[in-house]
Amino acid sequence: MRYSELLALVHDALAGELGVATNLAESRHFGVSVGDWPAFADTEAALRYLQRHYKLVILSNADRESFRASNRRLGVTFDAIYTAEDVGSYKPDPRNFSYMLEHLAAMGVGRSRILHTAQSLFHDHAPANDAGLASAWIDRRYDASGWGATAAPPAGVHYDFRFISLAEMVKAHQASR
């Protein structure tokens, strides 16, 4: 199922749980709203900086059209974009990471040269651990309890680096140079 279709179903389900009336048009509008979602304030500048030093690759649960709309806010051209629509599954399914690793290998990028950088311990870091990837946790919820919109991570999930923002990651990179 495309991400926009999934979001429409989620909208309906949440409205029902909250006892809020909704209609098909509202749910569909929410489903295609990804391009309207703001990027974090530090994201564009951080990605522009990191792009000067590394290849940037996206592994997204969005569909191609939703990611294209979201990407307009990010201000960079990625070296590769792999979406759930391309893979046929959503993270944390290991197929997403296998797909990315296979395609990056074809580009000459081996597993040991990848730093998987993401916020979700459940959707990203646990499967990155299973795939043998180094990872950097962007812990944007560092000052909040719980896991936000994601499930609690499985026991034993780990990461190699932890930053509270991409801007902090950039500062660490600059300090290491």
Give the tens place of pLDDT for each residue, 14-65: 999 999 998 899 999 999 999 899 999 999 999 999 999 999 999 999 999 9
**pLDDT score, position 149:** 82
Judgement on whether residues 107 and 153 belong to the same structural domain of the protein? yes
Range of the domain at 69: 39-176
Clarify whether residues 65 and 129 are in a common domain.
yes
**CATH number of the domain that 95 lies in?**
3.40.50.1000
Report the predicted TM-score, pTM, of the whole model to 2 decimal places.
0.91
Nearest Cα neighbor of 139 from 148, 126, 151 is 148
* CA–CA distance, 113 with 132 (Å, rounded to integer): 11
| 64 and 6 inside one domain | no
In a shared domain, residues 13 and 95: no
Same domain, 11 and 74: no
Overall number of domains in the chain: 2
CA distances from 109 to 82, 104, 113, 114 (A): 15, 5, 6, 8
Domain check: are 51 and 114 in the same one? Answer: yes
Q: Is residue 150 predicted with pLDDT exceeding 90?
A: no
Same domain, 13 and 68: no
1 and 84 both lie in a single domain: no
* The pair of three-digit structure tokens given for residue 27, joined into one six-digit string: 């749910």
